[in-house]
A and B are shown apart, each in its own frame.
Chain A
């Protein structure tokens, strides 16, 4: 599969995810689940920032004996990734439990948010996989 097809399919999935979240807001005329989009868009950012900072660090003349070890910055970013993913699921659940949104809006916004997040992760994974053959998945 060449990269153009990948881009087209991924953008279609991304659009369907956004569509589900927007439908969950618009069908019930209640625009609280829109925050899910924001959370799931922020969710991949910490790992991207951590990997770019770590790759740009100069390791030439530093006595860094353990190159494979994980820095505290990366761990903090991983932890906040986990925090944001669970937040994106927990926010509609909280709204539903407090009777601020309906069941349909709950289901659609959770599925839509997960689609958006998985889409971004798969996008990053495809194109980092092409450039360098590393088998570690950073989501």
Chain B
């Protein structure tokens, strides 16, 4: 007969730490260690601040927006290591590698143009006046790949209302920071810096149009457009301008960067449209990050509620 003698010091099945907890602890330790190094050896206060640093900034922001998609989220790692942000290099791995030089605090945002009272705010004061919420949106890049991202932010419409645009205001223009020291990609003239984007005022006022300050319950990482970026889920990703310093209300259609670069390839509207191909490649399908095969692209990226903004407009001409 075989007698199994259990080593009294061996761990039993029920004593094993659940993997999720274990991984979480490791992540916490790693991030605490990192921030401790960052804080330097400055005694107890340094330790305290590093402990506070480990918590996510927007964890308690209300979730479950009616605009959410219930599709599987794209992993945080993929969202933050694969994106276009030419201010930090043209490879999709570049933004994560090169955006350490960006300083998202302190940050000033100017609201001007056709508004009753042009102003400028500090980003943190600005965020304090807003009611933050989470929005889980699809993002469709003009390069035919897509993601599902849980953003933290507030409706652009709220900012527009507060700015009190004049009756002449018909468009909203956005400008990214211009600083080749913080954004080394601006040293090469690949695009006409600073990056600018724009929306029609009614598009910008649509409840889906969103200004994000965070993702995955935390502050926006630099590579994702810290400290403030636009998210317009029914348009190609490049319309969702990053690291915004200026919001200008205009009476005429503003110039937009990719449209200046190649007007026959990137229109002012740039609504996601599987029936209008990019001159060089098809827009009928997309590769969802995390999937091997392509899936069909949906009109307006599946956000049909914006269709009424474009009644009577030829979307083939106004691509």
Do A and B make up one complex? Answer: no
